[in-house]
Amino acid sequence: MVRVTAECHTRPMTGSSHGFSRCTIVPPYLLVRLARVDDPRLAAAAEAARRSLMRDVPIRELRAAAHPTPSSSVHSGVRGGAAARVRGHVDRAVSDAGGLERLPGRLVRREGQPAGADLAVNEAWAGLGDTHSLFWNVFERDSIDDRGVSLEATVHYGRNYDNAFWDGERMVFGDGDGLVFNRFTASLTVIGHELTHGVTQFTANLTYEGQSGAINESLSDVFGSLVEQRSLGQSAAEAGWLIGEGLFTDQVQGVALRSLKAPGTAYNDDALGKDPQPADMTGYIETEDDNGGVHLNSGIPNRAFYLVATALGGNAWETAGQIWFDTLTSGTLGRTVDFAGFARATSRAAVTRHGAGSREHEAVIAGWTAVGLGGGLGTGSRPRSGTGPGTGVGRATVVPAPRPE
């Protein structure tokens, strides 16, 4: 039996107060389900899932090893020296692992070089650029650390590896098993999601467990979706709000790994089961698996953001995204913040930028109230009434986060 442990491991990095993490896009419960499939037609996919799960073992050992900070590594974005660097200039490097599990692999493209014939390399390259563009051109954040660190990626990692992950320094992409999962560079939301773990690492550095871990996951889903929406020029109303669209092959009854618009509806497949994410606090899942349900309960803040963004309309990255970015980078979030605390922080961010009772503040309150977390956010300019589950008023609907180990 495969024992699944945390899939986003964090510890202080050498010379830094921040942690590094190894955060995967595919949640462990989905791979476990696939690993247990007893269908000859999916035997290769089941074996690939088992191997993918077992790759967590050396990562657990890595927690006790020295690990350089991204800004001090040999892949630093300041290749020409601090004086030569232009703030906001993207610096990318993509390497090819060649089916091995050694990082970083062979460097195949760096900034200034033309595209080649490898589709995975080109997709990773474009995704790094689109993510950098969102954070710099919209939020004026200079790469994930706000100091211009190089954005690194490795493709073709492992044999039929069914995942992609952020390891504290780089994005790493598997090619999938070809039966259930396609190559992981195919989804721009995956790239944006994983790089946002890097932004969180250098800002709020949220503990990857329980509700703070689910907020960590949700922030990556939110900004991963915004990277794609901005790249495609989609308004909040036009966007699909899916994470990992295109990862499943046509053999799977599903459209993506997760849906911000309708958590719990992304897939419903005989082999993979049904998407288990709850959409509000009435469905909150108490579990010790998945690090206290970080990939499960993230559906709740995900839907809150979707509701805020669509209520405000226009481009989601311009207003709702700015409020969430302000919250993430405010310096006021505790590492173990729970859903209620994060909701209050977004409300404060909306007031700071737009004013109490503003349309934006009202949208934030309404979004959190709809998922059962409106208590303590104030009333904006309109009074509200009601108590108990479903109203978001009172403490009954707020489930405290599990305490970190």
Q: 242 - beta bridge partners?
A: 259
295 carries an active-site annotation:
yes
Return the structure tokens found at 114: 């033309």
Q: 190 - beta bridge partners?
A: none
9, 197, 295, 361: which is the annotated catalytic residue? 295
Beta-strand ranges (E) seen in 7-105 are 11-12, 19-20, 23-24, 92-96
- From the list 155, 222, 228, 239, the residue with the least C-alpha distance to 189 is 228
Contact assessment for residue 303 and residue 325, using Cβ atoms and an 8 Å cutoff: no
Classify each residue of 336-355 as buried b or exposed e, where b means 16 or more C-beta atoms within 10 Å of its C-beta: bbbbbbbbbbbbbbbbeebe
Phi then psi for residue 259, to 5 deg, are -130, 125
From residue 263, how far is each of 77, 259, 273, 275, 372 by CA, in Å?
37, 5, 14, 8, 15
The one-letter code for the residue type at 240 is G
- From the list 296, 299, 395, 293, the residue with the least C-alpha distance to 344 is 395
Question: Strand 164-166 relative to strand 106-110: parallel, antiparallel, unpaired?
Answer: unpaired
Query: Which residue bears the tokens 């790994």?
Result: 257
Phi then psi for residue 77, to 5 deg, are -70, -10
Separation of alpha carbons 40 and 22, rounded Å: 32
152, 169, 194, 228: which is the annotated catalytic residue? 194
Active-site residue numbers? 194, 295
